[in-house]
Amino acid sequence: MTFRQSGHLLKMETRVAEDGSVDYQLPLDDERLPLNQFIGNAISIEHLGDIHCIHCGRRSKKSFAQGYCYPCFISLPQCDTCIMSPERCHFHAGTCRDSAWGEKFCFTDHFVYLSNTSGVKVGITRGDQLPTRWVDQGATQGLPIFRVKNRRQAGLIEDRLRQHVADKTQWQRMLKGNNENLDLAAIRDDLVKKCELDLAELAEECGIQAMQFLDQQTTLHIDFPVSEFPEKVKSFNLDKQPKIEGVLKGIKGQYLILDTGVINIRKYTAYNVEFSAEA
């Protein structure tokens, strides 16, 4: 029996159980399709030709910043350069694209963290996005190391720490398997020691109470539903190949791993597709 469901893609939604196992759901418009059940089965995803902006709904020939049309991309605060480079926040200069949005999403508690993806990396996220952020990037371990009052402060700390540790994931390596577990707490302590002077200057600039060092946190271990990792990583492109097919071997980060290749679901946010699977 073949299962079929169509709709516009959003990034996969996840839930991490107490044992660290991850459960995935695929959003297709208002529907949420449980995906773990299809691991080991043949599936297909076909792009039906439409892309609609996730903000305004406008039909677009191309998706910008994972789901936006071009007018929204150049005007919305969530598409500004400071989202990718938070240390470049310009709210204080009075040039934020939408100050109300900035106050709601940027002036809230943020975490600086270490994670184990293709190796150890540093990153930041809003306080309500852990452990979701770690799951989305395919991290098998995650450890929050600082809690701060806003996004810019988190970005400034990250900017200092990434002088000594990576701040990006090598996604092909991440998809080839899981790294051995790392002692993230020991790496944290060594990193903080190396950046002691820079962090002290930031604390003076931001205020002592603004930067909370989380030296008592424990590392979260995450277990992704993967039955087999690929030896070579071949990435599908729905713009060039509208229909992809294969046996679903697993899910890690925002990637579906098929025996024929991998696809980054988040990359195709706002694409209208038909998902089918042999049940």
- Which pLDDT belongs to residue 223? 98
Q: Where are the beta strands (DSSP E) in the chain?
A: 2-8, 13-16, 22-28, 31-34, 42-51, 110-116, 120-126, 141-148, 211-213, 220-221, 243-252, 255-258, 261-264, 271-278
pTM of the model: 0.96
The string over 217-226, giving b where at least 16 C-beta atoms fall within 10 Å of a residue's C-beta and e elsewhere, is: bebbebebbb
- Which pLDDT belongs to residue 188? 98
- Which pLDDT belongs to residue 12? 98
Q: Are 213 and 27 in contact (CB under 8 A)?
A: no
Task: Report the C-alpha gap between 187 and 145 in whole angstroms.
Answer: 11
Rounded to 10°, the helix 151-161/196-206 angle is 160
- Domain locations along the chain: 2-69+224-278, 108-221
Q: Chain centroid to CA 83: how far? A: 13
Q: Are 206 and 153 in contact (CB under 8 A)?
A: yes
Task: Report the C-alpha gap between 248 and 237 in whole angstroms.
Answer: 17
Task: Report the C-alpha gap between 8 and 26 in whole angstroms.
Answer: 10
CA angle 259, 264, 267 (to 5 degrees): 155
Nearest to 62 by CA among 54, 70, 73: 70
User: Which amino acid is located at 107 in the chain?
Assistant: F
The string over 122-137, giving b where at least 16 C-beta atoms fall within 10 Å of a residue's C-beta and e elsewhere, is: bbbbbeeebbbbbbbb
- Which pLDDT belongs to residue 279? 77
Q: Are 257 and 175 in contact (CB under 8 A)?
A: yes
Kindly give the confidence (pLDDT) of every residue in the chain, 279 residues in length, as a single tens digit, with 9 standing for 90 and above.
789 999 999 999 999 999 999 999 999 999 999 999 999 999 999 999 999 999 999 999 999 999 999 999 999 999 999 999 999 999 989 999 999 999 999 999 999 999 999 999 999 999 999 999 999 999 999 999 999 999 999 999 999 999 999 999 999 999 999 999 999 999 999 999 999 999 999 999 888 788 999 999 999 999 999 999 999 999 999 999 999 999 999 999 999 999 999 999 999 999 999 999 987
- Which pLDDT belongs to residue 43? 98
Q: Report the first-to-last Cα separation within the chain, whole angstroms.
A: 6
Q: Are 132 and 184 in contact (CB under 8 A)?
A: no
